[in-house]
Amino acid sequence: MKYQEPMLCPGSLQEKTIIVTGGGSGLGKSMTKYFLELGAKVIITSRNIEKLQTTADELSKITGGDIFPVACDVRDYEQVQNVIKLSLEKFGKINGLVNNAAGNFISPTERLSAHAFDTIIDIVLKGSKNMTLALGKYWIKEKINPATVLNIVTTYAWTGSAYVVPSATAKAGVLAMTRSLAVEWAKYGIRSNAIAPGPFPTKGAWDRLLPGNLKEKFDPAKKIPLKRVGVHQELANLAAYLMSDFSAYINGEVITIDGGEWLYGAGEFNQLEKIPQEMWDMLEQMIKNRKK
């Protein structure tokens, strides 16, 4: 078995009907593909219905699964309610949500207009809130149990990060919501968890976070202890596990999948890995000599 391979047994998501926001591209598409392979019914949403339809056609052909594309801007609560209405008409029940849709770009914060800052907060934080609130109300009223929310955040939700301040602010809010609702809604059989990915190549992220030659200048793999970026199937494996009943006792958790990246940035002496072996011999002697 290799880490690039599917992990769960066939039929692991047979009873699940899952909404994946931003499911037409990138990581949302990869998670959707694997959910379908495992037997889930999946509703994919984003603003661009042509893109969603193309993805739905492609994935239903590859997996033979039930996939339903619905246009929805997650910033608009009425559109979110409409997704739920159409999904219930189509599948009769929804019991999973992946808040994956996001907006992001790099910029010095002082260059941002108030509207630019709002745009990111509205997609990431308000969008996740809109989906979670609307589905939570439905789950509680209709006693849909178990139900699961999975929020895709990132490691700077807790470290913060320069040059993506609206995204960091919003993801921190989503993480707080994850942990808060994990406790409050557990009594209804609703679990809330999050995944914090490190760099996983997608067009959406790379075009906005590493435009032009930044890809070469700031090769993300170089600051990852495992010296590679993530493979989509690895993230899909983790997401499928967290959406499945195999993870029934995991609630309020954020699981980092970043090859050790954020800890590498945080540890006081981690940079010492640049010191060659011969120099360690010399340093060891210097330290020991001081003791004498």
188 is catalytic: no
Residues of this chain, 102-131, that bind ligand HXC according to CB under 6 A: 102-105, 107, 112-113, 115-116, 119
Stretch that binds ligand HXC, among 98-106, 139-147, 186-194, 284-292 (CB under 6 A): 98-106
Q: How far is the CB of 98 from ligand HXC (least distance, A)?
A: 14
- Beta carbon nearer to ligand HXC, 188 or 206: 206
Q: How far is the CB of 36 from ligand NAP (least distance, A)?
A: 17
Residues 97 and 192: their CA atoms lie apart, in Å, by 10
Residues 265 and 247: their CA atoms lie apart, in Å, by 30
Which residue lies nearest ligand HXC, judged by its C-beta? 103
The angle at the Cα of 52, spanning 51 to 55, to the nearest 5 degrees, equals: 85
User: Is residue 195 close enough to count as binding ligand HXC by CB under 6 A?
Assistant: no
Residues 118 and 114: their CA atoms lie apart, in Å, by 6
Within 10 angstroms of residue 93's Cβ, the number of other Cβ atoms is 15
Residues 107 and 197: their CA atoms lie apart, in Å, by 21
What is the three-class DSSP state of 150? strand
Question: What, of ligand NAP, ligand HXC, none, does residue 75 touch, CB below 5 to 8 Å by kind?
Answer: ligand NAP
Question: What, of ligand NAP, ligand HXC, none, does residue 243 touch, CB below 5 to 8 Å by kind?
Answer: none
Q: Are 5 and 34 in contact (CB under 8 A)?
A: no
The angle at the Cα of 18, spanning 207 to 138, to the nearest 5 degrees, equals: 120
User: Is residue 237 close enough to count as binding ligand HXC by CB under 6 A?
Assistant: no
Q: State the catalytic residues.
A: 156
Q: Binding residues for ligand HXC, per CB under 6 A? A: 102-105, 107, 112-113, 115-116, 119, 154, 167, 199, 204-205, 208-209
